[in-house]
Amino acid sequence: MTEPTGVQRTVLGNGLTVVSEFMPGVRSVSIGAWVRIASVHEPRPLMGVSHLLEHMVFKGTRRRSAKDIAMSLENLGGSLDAYTSREHTAFQARVLDEHLVQAADVLGDLIFSPALRESDLQLERKVVLEEIAMVDDTPDDLVFELHNELLWGEHPYGYSILGTRDTVASLGVADLRALHGRGYQPRHIVVAAAGNVEHERLLEALRLTGWEDVARGDDDPAVPPAPVAAPPGVRHVERDGAQTQIVFGVPTVRYGDPRRYAVSLASTLLGGGMSSRLFQRVREEMGLAYSVSSFHSYHTDSGTHGVYLATSPETAKLATDAVHEEMRAVAEQGFTAEEVAAGRGQLKGQITLSLESSSSRMYRAAATELYGEPYRPIDDVLSQIGAIRDEEVAAMAAAYFVPELQTVLSLGPGPGTA
């Protein structure tokens, strides 16, 4: 697979960073804006304020009502969405190439000119509280929230992105406006686009819709505290239900660490598909779970690797022991050469297939700026994965899969995993 264009980058006079990748042969454009402020920057009493602000900008701006915003791109066949992560708050749209200016106009209006009215807050707070209640009623979501809290202790990585009932109930318009004024400044924002859009055309769309006219701002970027994980531990949370949800996890490397791909490859071999060690052992050989899988995430200054499964309360201890046995085996002995070779192919295929849409290319373009990494053609990335040595994968397994290093949280009836 070849990439004849690559990512282009421009920093406007007001500090706004713009990156884009042209994709020939498509008619769509995905465009998004990433604000460099989110849950990791929040003090505990304001937990959830970034997510609440993300909701509130959709309640209306100086030029548009909430319904106007909802109809603005849907009437053109496009879509508009947003999310809050640990490190960024993102707003994104996907439209036909001919509607790029309209998408840029709507996104700019949302980001820079939200009304943030008290009357809207009273309603939207209820919506967020319902979102929190939905997580509370969904065990396979709640277990990850509880595990993050146990893994990271008092660090903001352990906070709920949604906030708690108490913190959301206490947030006011003044908190939202303070966050907006401090963080939603051009010099803290990355605009990324991919699809049938040339870079100069994107810059022109932003100029036409006023992005370049917004004042730069003078607040320094938010700096999160250095990550400090809690000591490894085991905890069970009693809850009625038919299954026990179990998450294992450990801190790993940051996004920019060159070992990231070796960690991802080791994770793939451990629990990344039907052929993985855990799927074959826990499901196929022992019949203890419908699904069992590994996961990994990377941030600016840290990362997480983990395993998730759900099983009957009566077999929770047996399933946990099986996962620990497989972890110990690969931590001490590594993987076979055949496994690593197959894993390389699986990881390369997953990455290649994931980059066939304009949205995924937009995310990749944004990541080059958000994490300070140079753009690399996909062929270079695939070559790097192909060059990962067996001993590198074994080293990552030895560093992060040792059972005694895992923080384990179980949620459900009975004694759990202890």
What are the beta bridge partners of residue 189? Answer: 35
Which tokens belong to 310?
């759900």
What beta strand segments (E) does 57-96 contain?
79-84, 89-96
**391 assigned to active site:** no
Structure tokens at 106: 């709507």
Specify whether the CB–CB gap between 114 and 41 falls below 8 A: no
Bridge pairing between strands 292-298 and 303-311: antiparallel
Sign for the CA dihedral angle at 108, 86, 347, 291 comes to negative
Q: Check the CA dihedral 358-359-364-367 and report its sign.
A: positive
Determine which one of 3, 21, 42, 54 is catalytic.
Answer: 54
Amino acid letter, residue 83: Y
- Residue in this structure with the two tokens 């604000």, named with its chain if needed: 35
Query: What is the C-alpha separation between 159 and 40, in angstroms, rounded?
Result: 8
Q: Side by side, which strands form the sheet with 17-22?
A: 7-11, 17-22, 189-195, 28-35, 89-96, 79-84
Is the Cβ–Cβ distance between 316 and 245 less than 8 Å? no
Q: Report how far residue 44's alpha carbon sits from residue 159's, in angstroms, rounded to the nearest whole number.
A: 8
Residues designated as active site: 54
